[in-house]
Structure 1
Amino acid sequence: MLDRIKIKLQYLLPKQGLTRLAGWGAERRAAMLTQWVIKAFASYYKVDMKEALDPNFSAYPTFNEFFVRPLRDGARPVVSGLDMLCLPADGAISQLGAIVDSKLFQAKGHFYTLEALLAGNYQLAEQFKEGLFATTYLAPRDYHRVHMPCDGVLREMTYVPGDLFSVNPLTAANVPNLFARNERVICVFDTEFGPMVQILVGATIVGSIETVWSGQVTPPREGIIKRWTYPAAGEEGAIALEKGQEMGRFKLGSTVINLFAANQVEFMPQLKNGTVTRMGEPFAEALRPHAVEPVSAENVI
């Protein structure tokens, strides 16, 4: 009964207005009030401040600065190895697996299409047919900067306006097409493992989504799709990011979706629905063709 009420409220509440209000409040410098809010939030969600670059609450004059706090050096070692990809964010795996018939699994009884997720870009969607996807949910207590799973050169970025439903597991299980209807920022990279997409999905009271190359992408929320393209690798102005490097952040929590082309990588076997993730830990491994040893003439019958 309570769950049904929560879902009903998701449809009835003025999510855009609540999000604007939360974003405004999170940027206020309210001295003692800000400190009280930060401490109450950290206590309620059991935030581990020992991992923060500065563990003192007084170091954060606004709630947003606390929320996107950087971690101390060494807090998230990045897995080594040219064939290894690293997890992009702290959180938990919501779903991961194969993209079947151009559809991604959201939750029991719910699927959504690649083309809908990618805002109707059928040419981009074609590159990920029969590929892999992973959805990572960032809870309020998590570290909210998002990093690169592998080296990549940014090809394009698309801002897609949309709803601002919550993206927690309850909503994912009850709101159809959740990730294809919410606001999101789609980032496409060229990598040695083929094309890779990393999508930052907005949600209720997510005050803003930012990337390291463009700064704040949203707000403003103007209700139109915006698309930016970037120089290719080797060209002047190309944006190249390394494995483990920060690529974006949420001011209040949300979800990251990764897409990989077919036959390029395989996810680590220990990852499954509900697995807690830590940025930098093993995410996937490249699928490399196995070398075949040449047959010598003396072994030929």
Structure 2
Amino acid sequence: MKNFTTRLFILLQHLLPQHLLSRLVGHLAASHTFWLKNLFINWFVRQYDIDMSQAQEERPTAYRCFNDFFTRELKPGIRPIDSTPGSIVSPADGAISQLGDIDYGRIFQAKGRSYSLTALLGGDSKAAAAFVNGQFATVYLSPRDYHRVHMPLDGTLTRTIYVPGDLFSVNQTTAEGVEHLFSRNERLVAFFDTELGPMAMVMVGAMIVAGIETVWSGIEAPRQKQPVNKLYNQTPEVVVLKKGEEMGRFYLGSTVILLFGPNVMQWQTELSANSPVMLGQQLGTAQQNTV
């Protein structure tokens, strides 16, 4: 019965009009209609057992719309950022989907499935070359999690690539059932220069995700669903973000993938698939010869 239910869940995702459904939910999530947004928010709090005591604004119905509630700010200091020298911290609350080596340009997805590093980065083989045989970590944000994304270490933004694509769910069931999931879904790739060399943060869209936003550019969703490249290392205003500072947010949940080059860092040995993580928690450590 479980296998049938799983196959049906995957089949429905193939059949549903993913982008139309996401746009409709996006309009609902942005509505300021008092009774509608309160109905949506209160249902969500009950359905996912949201702990509002951690939020800066604890009253669910005080938010102007569902999007504001979903991307709610946490109380100051409630997520301490690990300050160990050379530490690399979790960019979000969530759970590790997978982490480990980028083997010859392939990234492990789930249960024997892997996908191309180059495809993940929008087909840019030159950008991908910096991460071949490096390290990756995939962090899944569930609906009940805090949905702002923060920097795992200090970085200077150099470039972004918006990559249009599908909008499959990104939970574990779909990761196990959909080939090349993360390299086929809509996503924003942000490249940073760091003390460890190049780092990429890939914000992956998903079913009913109504938007991906960055602190430097706002909503990243061009009307024309074509790849969009933006260079930031040649602009007058350089974007420099410190470890723990917000870099973006999801309007409904999704996944963040971190990429590092070879021989510059290592993940904490106790972390594995399905390990719960929290923003600011140490995920890895820079190798001593790189700091």
TM-score with structure 2 setting the length:
0.96
Shift of 1:33: 2.5
Quote the residue 1:295 is aligned against: none
- Runs of 4+ in structure 1 deviating by more than 3 angstroms, as ranges, are none
Shift of 1:269: 1.4
* Residue 218 (structure 2) pairs with residue 226 (structure 1): no
Q: Greater CA deviation, 246-255 or 27-36? A: 27-36
Contact 1:110–1:176 (CA under 8 A) maintained in structure 2: yes
Tell me the secondary structure at the aligned position of residue 198 of structure 2: strand
| Structure 2: runs of 5 or more not aligned | none
Quote the residue 1:277 is aligned against: 277
Quote the residue 1:243 is aligned against: 243
Between structure 1 and structure 2, the one with the greater Rg is 1
* Residue 64 (structure 2) pairs with residue 61 (structure 1): yes
Query: What are the within-5 Å matches in structure 2 for residues 1-301 of structure 1?
Result: 1-218=4-221, 220-231=222-233, 236-289=236-289
Q: Greater CA deviation, 221-230 or 243-252? A: 221-230
Contact 2:41–2:61 (CA under 8 A) maintained in structure 1: no
Tell me the secondary structure at the aligned position of residue 201 of structure 2: strand
Q: Deviations over 1:246-287 (max 9, x none)?
A: 000000000000000001111111211001110001011010
| Structure 1: runs of 5 or more not aligned | 291-301
Report the AA paired with residue 227 of structure 1.
N
Q: Deviations over 1:192-248 (max 9, x none)?
A: 011100000001100000000000112x4422000100126xx84111000000000
Q: Distance in 1 between matches of 2:223 and 2:276?
A: 32
Shift of 1:48: 0.7
Q: Percent identity?
A: 47
Q: Deviations over 1:69-105 (max 9, x none)?
A: 0000011000003311110011100000001111000
Tell me the secondary structure at the aligned position of residue 37 of structure 1: helix
Q: Distance in 2 between matches of 1:57 and 1:288?
A: 45
Shift of 1:11: 0.3
Tell me the secondary structure at the aligned position of residue 257 of structure 1: strand
Contact 2:114–2:180 (CA under 8 A) maintained in structure 1: yes
TM-score with structure 1 setting the length:
0.93
Report the AA paired with residue 233 of structure 2.
P
Report the AA paired with residue 58 of structure 1.
T
